[in-house]
Structure 1
């Protein structure tokens, strides 16, 4: 009954009864069919990665996680205080964001190394949003309320992206764009913190473009205050400890671990030392002599429902895209980097869920937006962290700082915090070696990198992000719409070691790209044969371009089928006048060229083909045959997707008259165990040996031919080209059989270029 319905449907839509069988939608559904309950169960389990590693937690992991967690906590506390100032918020809000971030991430993370919390770039963006909303709405909302609302909205967006499993969108942004944005942002942040480090913050507008801030800072150097006496020594001390510990570790390797941990505590050490000095300098004065952090209330004072209104969301609406992009982009890039470094893979969607939960839940504790930190993640990794549970130890350190040490934060100099920020963001600036590597790999991506840096410096961070995104998308579209592709010729390779076999043919570009293959004579295809290899999928953005390339190449290397010298100018087509009657040179060139015989298209790199691609391929065939004034065969090789084969068959390709005596459309596939059911199709005149050898043997003398012929006579099922045969389950026998990969109904489809060339009848009139 089903077969009758299929035949009627094929007749209704105009499909030939003898057309080759192709993959169907029902085949796709059956191959991808999964039970609903197992899929839901797997999805829910993936939301809580700790279920996989927590039952195996042991004492060794605990010790390593405690060391790493406490180490990161000692760095996180002073950094969070300084980053809160960068976000234009009271210092305690940096601690609020630090506490909730590291705790929630431990339960949702797929990366053991990433440390969640306030970061420089996101803090700067938060400060920009806070100032923007204040400028629009005045004092109707407090700055912490604005920042907390921003955390909730951005976190909710990122959480939705992760839950819907569309985190792959971040893959559209290349690494040079991310590096350029981070470099420009780091320079922007450092330039904005230098005035505070020198005591010039009240004299300058640090919200101006970076180049303007740098110029005004240099102009006001004579006006430095006592704050510079804290800021500059703090910065020198930070770098002195860092470089000193690195030197000692290299000179005395046996103490390298001790020097590493000594270097990691430089942030806490500098803050403690300069806080004590500040306390002594300011004691006895009613008004502090330098800018201080001020009173930091103990405990979690901002717990409660965040204030989220449509008015507030509307006021920050223009900044939400940039803020969300920073939130997810910085985190994913860091997580992937440390995953590659330490030999494990992260789940981008789950990482987005982690930071989404972190920010939405953190808004209940007064946290402003936070994401992964590069410097703290590097520290966590080097400290020997074993699992994400190290974040719990870090959270305990933050809680202790909030409840036990908060009153001591009053005397922390703002200049020292600015020095700490400058020291932290300096690691985000791409080194000259790294930027030169971008140039060597891809000059176009290097332009994206440089552009992102310049836009961030001379305009704003938002413009740097938009430049990175826009140019990355444009570059992707250009590469898709203008694929290079190659017209191929043959090179014969002789292996130096006879054990690797005898000579073999490889196909390389005829166009002689500089630096590709030097001093190698590439043999062109037989006269009238064109071989073209795709570099991209054949889709609507590039279909017309590829069509033009193939047609132009055919016209440049083959002659017309019609002799225009005998046709008067009045009888020639208006759009194709041909050579002038008196142009003997052009006519001689035309006579020496061969007629077009065949076009071979290498589809190895073609993962997808759409309707526009098929239509342009049909147009290409028509134009080539019109030029040649004869039938020109189109052969295809390297088709990997059954849907690509289905599309080509629907366009009328693949079918045609096979050259008599050819056998190269059959490739051996060895099946082990059981009887086989072969496709009901005419077999080639020859087959390959059942052992898998490439040596042809006579069909009548081969055991495989007899077995397949027997199976063919008894088979009732038509299988799709390329699917081969299926072994009968449960037979228990261990046998080998040769089966066809290409059906006889599709003689223009081939396994590789050698098969395609061998199938062309070179005896046709040239």
Structure 2
């Protein structure tokens, strides 16, 4: 067997091929480089960090009249919707209606100064209000009479605001990315159904007949059981709901079919909540104004205090925090998750990018300041954000006109709020949360994209309906994490074969055709997108090609180890037959065929030599690992790769070389070098070093192949073999004429690291061929 020249000899023999490319050892990225990246220009980093906390510094100096007009229209439009919605949601939270107005005012006012989204409208929302109501009810049930409902809700806003603000300040917003869209959609859909079911009894005036905070399925059953006891409230509630949908659908029809009236139809649709509330409040006033309160035939909102009646520092009660500690994680998740999801959606829709960390800071500050006004937890609203976006909002400052609308309502309209029918407020809530329910078409889209994620979505909806929102959220989160871990621990990995594909090339006499090899999964190894009628050829004799689809780290290292070793043992032969080994020298866990069974011994011999009609198994000589998708390699991955090499070499009874292609990360290269890979020091065979890249060469045929092994060692042939194609002759001549302008692409000190898979397979096949010849 010819000995492999040293790397120094290779450098000398390359002669003019190497220009200014000298090194004493394989280049390894230093540990200090990571620290340098973190500490580079710290002063500028601190300045940018502080500046990022106040985004309005960037856009406010550019504010102009055109922006102001757009913000004014959008802000007033949202305000007309926010006032009735906030009072409705306050009732959902178990609070007096004025607390919804307090939360609305603080939300839109403070958020404008810290927001990175122009579209999001922050304030009371249905799901958070429902969760607040459940927490208030649970604390009051466990500690009756100790705290007022508004104190509990305000304390909840304080703690959730502190947590979310801390997450944003520490720049941990990336944690939200671990929660996928189907999980969010699942508990949002389940929550919306729960809210609608809980408001339906109030719609029919039967809410007092049973507990509407029970599990959703029980509320639905009991609602049907008690429909016969419906009161006059049903006339107001059902009529309000029908009126809301009639206006919405009519305006949508006009917008589609009569473009001339599109703008008018849009603003008519926007005002539908206020219009319905005004009409039915007048009707309610007419039938109750002359009656004593005890004889009112319908349930009305009654007194709403004028102005800000509860301004003051929020009480910090450790006993209260302990009482609701078990509910805080879910409340915080809802607060940040709903907001980030909405902000990202409208950022994509309107072609700008939000900063999740800054958004967390914004809602954290909003809720902290809101506690001074006795506000309860506020976050982004989907329906109001959509309305704000469609109204032509230009900057986050549109929240200030909205806040002005709330202030006017608090100081000028509270007397009129007295006669608002509660059934009409329930209709507004049901109408609003209906938009949060994922449609059957959207559910089917989840199924098409990922059946496993659809199952998480479906399970989250069902569990929320039959238990509670908390359990639904926890289920979706745990299921999503388990799915993520499963995908990391059991990633895709493919054993590859070869297919020749035709490529058009530009030649001197016109367009020609050449062929090149591509590597695709071997038939039967996995589901492949390639044409099943195309035959995939096996890799070169003695070579196995394996492609990773995920980082090679501790959760999946053993999985890849087993896949490689099992495949090689199944598809290649032993280096030394078990039957030819003394029984005492055989390992106990792999002792081969029964020594007394001639049939078993003959079968093993037939597998080695190849039976009639069956391919002969080759001895494994080289393994090619495609690391193009491997972004991270940890210590466990390196150790498992070392173990894999040992197992394969024991099976082959000789050295097996490992070639790597597509390595991009210097840290992955560093890990492989630490495991003894890349340099080839353990190999006794000849390996092709990295191909060089021609510089300044005009490619008139096709992409030039890398220099041949003979070129590196000074055995260049002046005449091409007779069976060489004209294209190869042309490329060889071009290459020989341009030797003075070429340099190695990959370090000559790491000849087993290749820049692409084709070059790695070519090197591995040559090595396997030489090893087979020498044996």
TM-score normalized by the length of structure 2: 0.88
Aligned CA RMSD, in angstroms, stands at 2.3
Deviations 1:683-733 (A, max 9, x none): 95589xxxxxx956798854645xxxxxxxxxxxxxxxxxxxxxxxxxxxx
Aligned position for 1:590:
608
The unaligned stretches of length 5 or more in structure 2 are 1-22, 610-615, 698-710, 716-729
CA deviation map 1:197-252 (0-9, x unaligned): 00010002111100000000001110001110100000000000000001111110
> Which deviates more, 576-585 or 638-647?
576-585
Match of 2:133 in 1: 127
Contact 1:666 1:684 in 2 (8 A): no
Residues 331-342 of structure 1 aligned to structure 2 (within 5 Å)? 331-342=339-350
Q: Give the match for residue 385 of structure 1.
A: 393
Of 751, 756, 765 in structure 2, the residue corresponding to residue 747 of structure 1 is 751
Match of 2:310 among 297, 302, 314: 302
* 1:517 CA displacement: 1.9
Aligned 8 A contact 1:66 1:390 in 2: yes
How far does the alpha carbon of each residue in 1:636-667 deviate from its partner, in whole angstroms, 9 at most, with x for none? 01111001100100110001159758454444
Q: 1:32-71 to 2 correspondence within 5 Å?
A: 32-71=38-77
Among 197, 221, 237, the alignment partner of 1:191 is 197
Deviation at 1:29, TM superposition (A): 3.1
2:621 paired with 1:614? no
1:295-340 CA-partner distances (Å, limit 9, x unpaired): 0011111110111111010001000000000000000000000111
Please list, as runs of the form range in 1=range in 2, the aligned pairs for 1:720-759 lying within 5 A after superposition. Answer: 738-759=742-763
1:323 counterpart residue number: 331
Q: Please tell me whether the aligned partners of residues 659 and 759 of structure 1 are also in contact (alpha carbons under 8 angstroms).
A: no
Decide whether the 8 Å contact of 2:87 with 2:100 is kept in 1.
yes
Q: Structure 1 residues 617, 670: closer, same or farther in 2, change over 3 A?
A: farther
Contact 2:690 2:744 in 1 (8 A): no
Q: CA deviation at 1:565?
A: 2.1
Counterpart pick for 2:406 among 392, 398, 411: 398
* C-alpha contact (below 8 Å) 1:686/1:699 kept by paired residues: no
Q: How many residues are paired up?
A: 703
Asked if 1:490 is matched to 2:514, the reply is no
Match of 1:576 among 580, 583, 590: 590
Equivalence map 1:618-637=2 (5 Å):
618-637=642-661
| Structure 1 position 133, deviation (Å) | 1.0
SS at match of 1:599: strand
Match for 1:448 among 445, 456, 461?
456
| 1:517 matches 2:539 | no
Which structure 2 residues correspond to residues 232-381 of structure 1 after superposition, within 5 A? 232-287=238-293, 288-381=296-389
Partner of 1:140: 146
Contact 2:53 2:114 in 1 (8 A): yes
1:498-555 CA deviation, whole Å, 9 max, x = no partner?
6798433221111444462232221221122111111111111100111000000000
Q: Secondary structure at the match of 1:438?
A: helix
**CA 1:251 to 1:136, structure 2 compared with 1: closer, same or farther past 3 Å?**
same
Asked whether the equivalents of residues 690 and 746 of structure 2 are also in contact (C-alpha less than 8 Å), the reply is: no
2:564 to 547, 550, 557: 550
Task: Give the Å deviation of 1:748.
Answer: 0.6
Stretch moving more, 506-515 or 573-582: 506-515
Distance apart, 1:590 and its partner CA: 3.0
Secondary structure at the aligned position of 1:759 is classed as helix
CA 658–338 in structure 1, closer or farther in 2 if over 3 Å, else same: farther
**Cα distance, 1:492 vs. partner?**
2.1
**CA separation of 1:668 and 1:42: change in aligned 2, threshold 3 A:** farther
Task: Note the C-alpha offset of 1:601.
Answer: 0.5
CA distance in 1, matches of 2:117, 2:512: 43
Unaligned stretches of 5+ residues in structure 1: 1-16, 672-682, 688-693, 706-737
In 2, Cα distance between the equivalents of 1:414 and 1:271? Answer: 10
1:173 maps to 179
Show the 5 A alignment for 1:76-95: 76-95=82-101
Q: Is the 8 Å Cα contact of residues 689 and 748 (structure 2) preserved in structure 1?
A: no
Contact 1:111–1:346 at 8 Å: present in 2 too?
yes
| Kept after mapping to 1: 8 A contact 2:687/2:751 | no
Match of 2:112 among 106, 109, 133: 106
Give CA-to-partner distance per residue, 1:615-643, whole Å, 9 cap, x none: 00000000000000010000001111001
- Note if contact 1:486-1:511 (Cα within 8 Å) is conserved in structure 2: no
The alpha-carbon deviation at position 486 of structure 1 amounts to 0.7
Cα 1:543–1:334 shift into 2, 3 Å: same
Instruction: Check conservation: 1:495, 1:503, Cα contact below 8 A.
Output: yes
Q: For each residue in 1:439-466, what CA deviation from the matched residue of structure 2 results, as whole angstroms up to 9, or x when unmatched?
A: 1111100110001001100000000100
CA distance in 2: counterparts of 1:292 and 1:615, whole angstroms: 72
**How big is each residue's C-alpha offset from its partner over 1:599-626, in whole Å with a ceiling of 9 and x where there is no partner?**
0011111111111100000000000000
Q: Structure with the greater relative contact order (CA < 8 A, sep ≥ 6): 1 or 2?
A: 2
Deviation at 1:55, TM superposition (A): 1.0
Q: 1:33 to 1:191 in 2, by over 3 A?
A: same
Query: What is the DSSP-based 3-state SS (H/G/I as helix, E as strand, rest coil) of the residue aligned with 2:770?
Result: coil
Q: What is the CA-CA distance between 1:569 and the residue it aligns to?
A: 4.1
Other-structure match for 2:668: 644
Q: Offset of 1:585 from its aligned partner? A: 3.0
Per-residue deviation at 1:586? 3.8
Q: In 2, Cα distance between the equivalents of 1:323 and 1:389?
A: 27
Q: What is the alpha-carbon distance in structure 2 between the residues aligned to residue 668 and residue 199 of structure 1?
A: 83
Report the counterpart of residue 722 of structure 2 in structure 1: none
**C-alpha distance in structure 1 between counterparts of 2:695 and 2:49, whole Å:** 37
CA contact (8 A) 1:614 1:651 kept: yes
| Pair 515,618 (structure 1): closer, same or farther in 2 beyond 3 Å | closer
Which residue is 2:417 aligned to? Answer: 409
Q: Deviations over 1:158-197 (max 9, x none)?
A: 0000000000000000000000010000000000000010
Q: What does residue 710 of structure 1 align with?
A: none
Q: How far off its partner does 1:763 sit?
A: 3.1
Q: 1:695 to 1:54 in 2, by over 3 A?
A: farther
Rounded Cα–Cα distance in structure 2 between residues aligned with 1:501 and 1:373: 59
Task: Classify the secondary structure of the residue corresponding to 2:207.
Answer: coil
Q: Contact 2:347 / 2:353 at 8 angstroms: preserved in 1? A: yes
Q: Find the aligned partners of 2:134 and 2:740 in 1 and give their Cα distance.
A: 75
Contact in 1 for aligned 2:74/2:388 (Cα 8 Å): yes
Secondary structure, in 3 states, of the residue corresponding to 2:392?
coil
Alignment correspondent of 2:487: 479
* Contact 1:540/1:613 (8 A) holds in 2: yes
The change in CA–CA distance for 1:129 and 1:670 in structure 2 (over 3 A counts) is farther
Change (3 A) 1:435 1:699: closer
Q: Is the Cα–Cα contact under 8 Å of residues 100 and 375 in structure 2 kept in the other structure?
A: yes
Q: Once structures 1 and 2 are overlaid, which stretch shifts more, 88-97 or 34-43?
A: 34-43
Cα distance change, pair 535–272 in 1 and its aligned pair in 2 (3 A): same
